[in-house]
């Protein structure tokens, strides 16, 4: 069974960079059938898609976040990562990593990590 696990600091200072890693087990981030995504959820709010990275390193970002986000893939460690620069209090959220299901013409997230809360302090 595929499992995803987020890891990283739970507290980041404002204006600094948030860095999270998602470790995948039971599957390979190098599998060409899938893409790997990050989603976040501010406290008491809805879900916001951050972006997706493909095994080739190709990325798709949410336009409002594009200037501050970098998604990377590490096939040797079966991980993918998120970096969000110049964070503010508005970036405080639970961050989830997930797998995009197979299929070129469809986009859905079929496996999710448990999520990790990241708070931004002033």
Binding site for another protein (CB under 8 A): 37, 39, 46-49, 52, 60-64, 96, 101, 103, 105-110, 112-115
CB closer to another protein out of 16 and 65: 65
- Shortest distance, position 1 Cβ to another protein, whole Å: 11
Contact call for residues 36 and 57 (beta carbons, < 8 A): no
Specify whether the CB–CB gap between 119 and 13 falls below 8 A: no
Distances (CA, A) of 26 to 15, 44, 50, 74: 36, 32, 24, 16
Nearer to another protein, 31 or 41 (CB): 41
Distance CA 40, CA 32 (A): 24
Shortest separation between residue 54's beta carbon and another protein, angstroms? 13
How far apart are the C-alpha atoms of 60 and 54, rounded to whole Å?
9
Distance from the first to the final alpha carbon of the chain: 40
CB of 76 to another protein, least distance (A): 26
CB nearer to another protein: pick between 4 and 18: 4
Nearest distance in Å: CB 37, another protein: 8
Kindly tell me which of 72 and 117 has the beta carbon lying closer to another protein. Answer: 117
């Amino acid at each position: 069974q595929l499992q995803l696990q987020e890891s990283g600091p739970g507290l980041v200072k404002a204006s600094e960079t948030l860095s999270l890693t998602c470790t995948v087990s039971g599957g390979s981030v190098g599998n060409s059938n899938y893409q790997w995504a990050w989603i976040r959820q501010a406290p008491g709010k809805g879900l916001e898609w951050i972006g997706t990275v493909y095994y080739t390193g190709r990325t798709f970002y949410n336009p409002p976040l594009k200037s501050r986000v970098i998604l990377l893939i590490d096939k040797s460690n079966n991980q993918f990562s998120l970096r969000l620069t110049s964070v503010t209090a508005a970036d405080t959220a639970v961050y989830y990593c997930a797998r995009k299901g197979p299929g070129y013409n469809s986009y859905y997230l079929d496996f999710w990590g448990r999520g990790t809360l990241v708070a931004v302090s002033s």
